[in-house]
C-alpha cells in the first residue's frame, strides 16, 4: 500500500489544467461586456453582469475559487437548478422594482461590482456553519431572499434566507420552481376573495407558469376557471394541455374580443357572478376580461406583460363595486414570518406529492464544468436572446456545474 503525503494532494490540485486558472481580480472588456481573469485556482462559476442592459449583451460567465468554510449562522450550498424567470430578465434590464446588491465576495474591485443573476433555485447543503440548527449536510433548501443570485454553482447563504424542503416525493425541478410561481398562484386564490367550491375565476396569461399553477390549485379546490391565452399555430394543443391540468374553459384573446363571448360565459356559469380575476397582461385584453366580473369581485394584478397600462371603466367601480389589488410574492415573503413561509411551502409540497400540482414543462440548460467562461457566456447569451423573442413554451432551468 502506498502512502501519499497530504501536501502532495494539495500540490496536485494546484496543478490542474490551465483552463481552471482564473482570478478574483476583474477586468472589464467594454466592447464585448465579458470578463477576463488571471491565475488563481477556480472551482466554481456564476452568471454575472456589472451593468444593467440587454441580458443578451451584458451577461457573462465568471469563474471563482471554491468557497471557504461558512461563517456562523450560514451554510454553503451547491446550487442544483435555478430557473430563469421573466422577472430575472427585468432585473438585469434594470426595470424591476427590486434591486440586487453586488456579490461582495466576487466584487474585488470597487469600480467593478458584480451582480449574480437569478432569484429562485434549489440548493444542496455542502457545509454548515456554527450556530445552525435544523439543517445538515445534503439537505435541500430553497431561497426566500429576493435577488439572492442563484445562477451559480455554489453560494454561501444565511440560515434566515432559506427554507428546508423535503426530498421525498419531489423532483429537483419541482423543488427549484416552488418559491415564486406556485405560491403566487396559491396566495392570489386565497388572500383576496373568499372563494367556495363551485365559484368562478377568470385569468389571462393562463399558459404561464403561474397560470398553470392557478388552474391546478383551483381544480384541487373545485373552483371553475375561464382561461385566456394568445392565439398561436398550435393553440388547439395548448388548449388541450390546459384542460388536462383542470381548466374549465380556455379562450383566446381574439375570442375574448368577440361580442358573443359574454353570452357564452353567462351560459357556462349559469348566470353566477365571477368573483375573482387574475391579471398578468394588462392593456386592452384585461379591460375586456374585467367586464366579465360580477358584483363585489376582485381583480388582482401581478404583471403587465403587454407593457400597456391597465385601463378600467369607471362603471365597474360604481355599479359592480369592483376592488382592484396588486400582488407581489416578494412583498409577501418580506411581510411574513419564517413559520408562515414554511407553512406555505409545506402546503405546496403536499399538493405536489398528491399529484394535484405539477411543475411546468421545462428544459435544463447546463453550463458544463469543462467549458471555458467564453463558451459559457455565448451559451447563456444565446438562450436569453431566444427567450426575449417570446412564446418559448418551456421554463428554462439553469444548471451551472462545478468546474472540474
Catalytic residue set:
96
CA distance 55 to 7: 43
CA distance 81 to 379: 16
CA distance 361 to 363: 7
Task: List, in sequence order, every beta strand (DSSP E) within 230-338.
Answer: 249-252, 274-279, 298-301, 323-326
What is the SS3 assignment for 91-106? HHHCCCCCCCCCCCCC
Of 399, 396, 400, which is closest to residue 89 (Cα–Cα)? Answer: 396
CA quadruple 276, 282, 284, 285: dihedral sign: negative
Question: Phi and psi for 257 in degrees, rounded to 5?
Answer: -75, -10
Per DSSP, 142 falls in state E
Amino acid at each position: 500500500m502506498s502512502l501519499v503525503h497530504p501536501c502532495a494532494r494539495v500540490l496536485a490540485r494546484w496543478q490542474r489544467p490551465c483552463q481552471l486558472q482564473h482570478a478574483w481580480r476583474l477586468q472589464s472588456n467594454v466592447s464585448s461586456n465579458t470578463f477576463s481573469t488571471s491565475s488563481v485556482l477556480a472551482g466554481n462559476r456564476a452568471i454575472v453582469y456589472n451593468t444593467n442592459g440587454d441580458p443578451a449583451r451584458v451577461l457573462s460567465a465568471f469563474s471563482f475559487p471554491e468557497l471557504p468554510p461558512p461563517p456562523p449562522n450560514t451554510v454553503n450550498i451547491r446550487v442544483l437548478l435555478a430557473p430563469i424567470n421573466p422577472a430575472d430578465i427585468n432585473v438585469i434590464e434594470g426595470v424591476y422594482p427590486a434591486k440586487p446588491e453586488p456579490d461582495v465576495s466576487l466584487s474585488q474591485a470597487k469600480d467593478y461590482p458584480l451582480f449574480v443573476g437569478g432569484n429562485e433555485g434549489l440548493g444542496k447543503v455542502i457545509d454548515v456553519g456554527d450556530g445552525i440548527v435544523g439543517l445538515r449536510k445534503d439537505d435541500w433548501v430553497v431561497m426566500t431572499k429576493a435577488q439572492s443570485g442563484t445562477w451559480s454553482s455554489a453560494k454561501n447563504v444565511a440560515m434566515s434566507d432559506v427554507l428546508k424542503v423535503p426530498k421525498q416525493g419531489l423532483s429537483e425541478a419541482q423543488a427549484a420552481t416552488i418559491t415564486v410561481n406556485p405560491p403566487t398562484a396559491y396566495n392570489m386564490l386565497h388572500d383576496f376573495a373568499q372563494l367556495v367550491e363551485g365559484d368562478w375565476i377568470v385569468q389571462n396569461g393562463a399558459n404561464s407558469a403561474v397560470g398553470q399553477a392557478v388552474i391546478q390549485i383551483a381544480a384541487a379546490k373545485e373552483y371553475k376557471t375561464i382561461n385566456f391565452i394568445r392565439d398561436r399555430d398550435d393553440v388547439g394543443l395548448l388548449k388541450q394541455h390546459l384542460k388536462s391540468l383542470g381548466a374549465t374553459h380556455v379562450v383566446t384573446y381574439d375570442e375574448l374580443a368577440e361580442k358573443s363571448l359574454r353570452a357564452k360565459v353567462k351560459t357556462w356559469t349559469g348566470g353566477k357572478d365571477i368573483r375573482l380575476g387574475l391579471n398578468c397582461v394588462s392593456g386592452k385584453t384585461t379591460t375586456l376580461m374585467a367586464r366579465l366580473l360580477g358584483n363585489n369581485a376582485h381583480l388582482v394584478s401581478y404583471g403587465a406583460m403587454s407593457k400597456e397600462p391597465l385601463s378600467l371603466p369607471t362603471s365597474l367601480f360604481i355599479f359592480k363595486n369592483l376592488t382592484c389589488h396588486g400582488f407581489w410574492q416578494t412583498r409577501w415573503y418580506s411581510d411574513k414570518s419564517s413559520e408562515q413561509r414554511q407553512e406555505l411551502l409545506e402546503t405546496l409540497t403536499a399538493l405536489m406529492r398528491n399529484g394535484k400540482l405539477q411543475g411546468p414543462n421545462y428544459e435544463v440548460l447546463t453550463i458544463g464544468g469543462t467549458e471555458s467562461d467564453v463558451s459559457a457566456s455565448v451559451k447563456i447569451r444565446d438562450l436569453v436572446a431566444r427567450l426575449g423573442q417570446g412564446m418559448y413554451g418551456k421554463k428554462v432551468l439553469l444548471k451551472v456545474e462545478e468546474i472540474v
